[in-house]
Structure 1
Amino acid sequence: MKERQRPFRNKIRNLLTQVLQGLAHLHRNEYFHRDLKPENLLVTNDVIKIVDFGLARELSSMPPCTNYVSTRWYRALEVLLKSSTYTPAIDMWAIGAVMAELLTVCPIFPREVLII
């Protein structure tokens, strides 16, 4: 993305649809990713894949959940505020931040803004 001059506007719908279908599958099978960011979404020939499940966790896991998950730019508010319990909604927040970044070709919440 760093080398791109123009946004991905013509491909956003396709990419977003694929990622949301992947997340729906993941959440339906009782897991959440917890580390969604552009580096963990690989695109080849208009096919996007969610990768790096190192921080993934079962929904049935007992709290407390670690409050350090995901790259700061893509962390949901409940994680930023150090909540010990959170839901797969944190994956949806992260995807929203990633898609906004794809549209604008710059992070929506750069680290200078997130001083927590």
Structure 2
Amino acid sequence: MASSTIKSGALVTLQELNSSSPHFKQGASLRVTGKLQDYSIETAIAVIVDESANLKIDTQHLSLNLRVGSIYQFIGELLIQPNNETILKARVGRNVDGMDLNLYRQSLRLLREFQADQTSSQAP
């Protein structure tokens, strides 16, 4: 019997998701947040934006009523096309309207600083 485990989605901002990012790997499990800019019901492809960055989201496995202009958070696996175009194949999605994206980005920076401090203080 094959064992398959679902990885948790690493917290990543859309700005951090570029070819030099350690998270920019085929099949990487990610959690991304952004404002829904566009959605095609025919293809089930959504586009979320945060500041100047955007990402396509494959929503075909979600039963979510998507509204352009609302803020969403998705967890899924990153698929990188040969031309470096990226799409997140979402397995979880939720509306997070009311979330302050600036405060969210600030909290992620503080979390990473804390984690880096903990890692360096535990080094031999």
Determine which structure has greater relative contact order: mean sequence separation of CA pairs < 8 Å that are 6+ residues apart, divided by chain length. 1
Higher Cα radius of gyration? 2
TM-score after normalising by structure 2? 0.24
TM-score after normalising by structure 1? 0.25
